């Protein structure tokens, strides 16, 4: 019988954005289905949606095209989506419990960083009207999908974006403090690729999936989050005491 390894104490929290902090994944789904409808195609299945979540834009477009067989290149499709999405990003809203969670972590002096696959242009459009929430992240601790520190082809589900986000926190620690280790980070994610990347980075994970995606992956949910993972229905269900926060 193998010994139970105790979880390291959490010293920092890292956050995805789309679908976790804001309802932008709903908007992505609506726009995707509008493009499919234009071509007489069925709506996007949740199993395919789960594979696209959190990936860099052109990679997500390439995977979508492999399934949908629409007559575009990934770059063309990304442009079509971009034009339709641009008209919707001003409507994004915080997900339940998101502002409260971030505010409490800041009040408790827990270091936080944002790690989103959204490129800077889209990030600004999605968040310009949500300064009360995204102002809680410093610019130095906001890592975007087109950050030069993330090698090309190394977006989620690779660990790079999470490790870069952690590095931004360690860069600002007082000299007397030990650097924060990946296993001392709690990653909050709604997408399976992001969860995979966080696990590869060695972090602990809180997975907050869309209920439709959780239904599709019900039989694999424990495997997805791993030994040091937890599944929550929403961010307002997070238990601070459980993690000593």
DSSP H helices, the chain, are: 24-38, 46-52, 57-68, 74-86, 98-107, 120-127, 131-134, 160-170, 192-201, 211-216, 221-225
Question: What's the rounded mean pLDDT across residues 109-116?
Answer: 97
Task: Copy the structure tokens of residue 217.
Answer: 């992956």
Give the CA distances from residue 170 to residues 14, 116, 182, 208, in Å, rounded to whole numbers and listed in that order: 13, 19, 11, 26
Q: Is the dihedral of CA 45, 51, 55, 56 positive or negative?
A: negative
The catalytic residue among 18, 51, 190, 210 is 18
Please say whether the beta carbons of 7 and 204 come within 8 A: yes
pLDDT per residue over 17-43, tens digit each? 999 999 999 999 999 999 999 999 999
The catalytic residue among 16, 51, 160, 210 is 16
Instruction: Please check the confidence at residue 6 and state whether its pLDDT lies above 50.
Output: yes
Domains and CATH numbers, the chain: 12-23+92-243 (3.40.50.1000), 24-90 (1.10.150.240)
- Residues 4 and 169: their CA atoms lie apart, in Å, by 29
Instruction: Please check the confidence at residue 242 and state whether its pLDDT lies above 50.
Output: yes
- Residues 141 and 88: their CA atoms lie apart, in Å, by 26
Instruction: Please check the confidence at residue 3 and state whether its pLDDT lies above 70.
Output: no
Flag whether the pTM goes above 0.85: yes
Among residues 14, 38, 18, the alpha carbon closest in space to that of 28 is found at 18
Instruction: Examine the residue annotation and report whether 16 is marked as an active-site residue of this protein.
Output: yes
Instruction: Examine the residue annotation and report whether 18 is marked as an active-site residue of this protein.
Output: yes
Q: 14 forms bridges with which residues in the sheet?
A: 113, 187
């Amino acid at each position: 019988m193998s010994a139970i390894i105790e979880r390291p104490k959490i010293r920092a929290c890292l956050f995805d954005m789309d679908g976790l902090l804001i309802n932008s994944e709903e908007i992505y789904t609506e726009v995707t289905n509008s493009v499919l409808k234009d071509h007489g195609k069925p709506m996007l299945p949740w199993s395919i949606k789960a594979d696209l979540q959190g990936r860099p834009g052109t990679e997500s477009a390439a995977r979508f095209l492999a399934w949908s067989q629409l007559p575009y290149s990934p770059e063309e499709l990304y442009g079509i989506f971009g034009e339709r999405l641009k008209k919707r990003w001003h409507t994004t809203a915080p997900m339940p419990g998101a502002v409260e969670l971030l505010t409490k972590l800041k009040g408790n002096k827990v270091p936080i960083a944002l790690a989103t696959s959204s490129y800077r242009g889209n990030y600004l459009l999605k968040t310009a009207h949500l300064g009360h929430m995204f102002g809680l992240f410093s610019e130095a601790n906001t890592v975007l999908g087109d950050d030069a520190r993330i090698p090309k082809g190394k977006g989620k589900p690779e660990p790079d974006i999470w490790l870069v986000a952690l590095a931004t926190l360690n860069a600002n620690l007082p000299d007397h403090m030990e650097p924060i280790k990946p296993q001392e980070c709690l990653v909050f994610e709604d997408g399976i690729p992001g969860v995979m990347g966080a696990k590869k980075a060695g972090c602990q994970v809180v997975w907050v999936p869309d209920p439709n995606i959780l239904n599709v992956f019900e039989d694999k949910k424990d495997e997805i989050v791993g030994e040091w993972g937890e599944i929550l229905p929403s961010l307002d269900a997070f238990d601070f005491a459980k993690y000593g926060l």
